[in-house]
Structure 1
Amino acid sequence: MFGLPLGLFVESAVAILLALTIGYCVVLNERLKRLHADKDMMRQMVADLVGATNLANQAIKELKQTAIEADLSLNSRLEEAERFGIELANHVTAGTAVMERIAKITSVARNSQTMAQPVEETTKVQSALQQLSERVRTRGAAA
């Protein structure tokens, strides 16, 4: 008698353990499904991240190229501005020299005008004296 209930007890314990094992396998199966779903999502995220990284690298290359072009353009404009600055300074220097020459010419012209007036007055005085002496001679000859 003891054999039967004991055998039944052992078989029931095995059945319960088997049912628990099956339940645990079902839970593990669900977890594995979620893990595989997460794995696919992670693959997609990694692929998206790689794509974004490639786009960022391309953008960085383009920015570097743009910066190089801007630097070259800026350098050429700065060199051109320096040339224009030097040329402008030369023109200012030449203009100053011309202004100084004009000032000297004007000064000489003014001085010659002031000197010309006494000379003209002197010639006028001499002319008047000559005319007076000629009258005196013509009167003396007439008398």
Structure 2
Amino acid sequence: MAILLALTIGYCVLLNQRLKRLHQDRDALRQMVADLVGATNLANQAIKELKSTAVEADLSLSSRLEEAGRFGVELANHVHAGTVLMERIARITSVARHSQAIEPVEEPNKVQSALEQLSTRVRNRGAAA
């Protein structure tokens, strides 16, 4: 009986040591879980900030692209108006070269009116862009 009692006490001491190690491991595991939760919260916050930054960048880029598109249309209109004007000037100079004598303009108001209409069209095309 004494031997069984001694074996039981020895086994209890052994179990006690294992329980102490288990409690130490449990505390370490609890600390590890707390660190993991903290890291997860930091990662979630970083993801939220990245999303908001991406949205801001998208809005900024969209507005800049729209502005660039408007400038492109306006520039194309100006180039077209310039091309039309150059063609008219080329035709006028061609006619002037081929004619023997340049006749004086009988109606200067018509010329002035035509120039005003041309400048109005150019401005309207620029505003439409």
- Residues 45-70 of structure 1 show CA distances to partners (whole Å, capped at 9, x for unaligned) of 00000000000000000000011001
Q: Return 97-106 or 54-63, whichever deviates more.
A: 97-106
- For 1:17, the aligned partner's letter is L
Aligned partners of 2:14 and 2:93: how far apart in 1? 113
* Residue 32 (structure 2) aligns with: 45
Structure 1 residue 102: Cα displacement: 1.1
Corresponding position of 1:61: 48
Structure index of larger Rg: 1
Q: CA deviation digits over 1:83-127, x for unaligned, max 9?
A: 011001101111111111111111122112xx23xxxxxxxxxxx
Residue identity over aligned pairs, in percent, reads 82
2:92 maps to which of 105, 124, 135: 105
Q: Deviations over 1:1-31 (max 9, x none)?
A: xxxxxxxxxxxxx111111111111111111
Deviation at 1:34, TM superposition (A): 0.6
Higher normalized contact order (CA 8 Å, seq sep 6+, divided by chain length) = 2
Q: Which residue of 1 aligns with 2:59?
A: 72
Q: TM-score, normalised by structure 2?
A: 0.76
Supply the distance in 1 between the matched residues of 2:96 and 2:6 (Cα, whole angstroms): 130
- Quick one: which amino acid aligns to residue 78 of structure 1? L
Partner of 2:12 in structure 1?
Answer: 25
Partner residue, 1:93: 80
Task: State how far apart, in whole Å, the 2-side matches of 1:54 and 1:107 are.
Answer: 78
Q: CA–CA distance in 1 between the matches of 2:3 and 2:73?
A: 102
The 2-side partners of 1:106 and 1:21 are apart by 123
Q: Distance in 1 between matches of 2:71 and 2:12?
A: 86
Q: Which has the higher helix share?
A: 1
d(CA) in 2 for partners of 1:22, 1:92:
102
Q: TM-score, normalised by structure 1?
A: 0.69
Offset of 1:77 from its aligned partner? 0.8
Greater than 4 Å deviation, 4+ residue runs: none
Whole-angstrom CA distance in 2 between matches of 1:87 and 1:25: 92
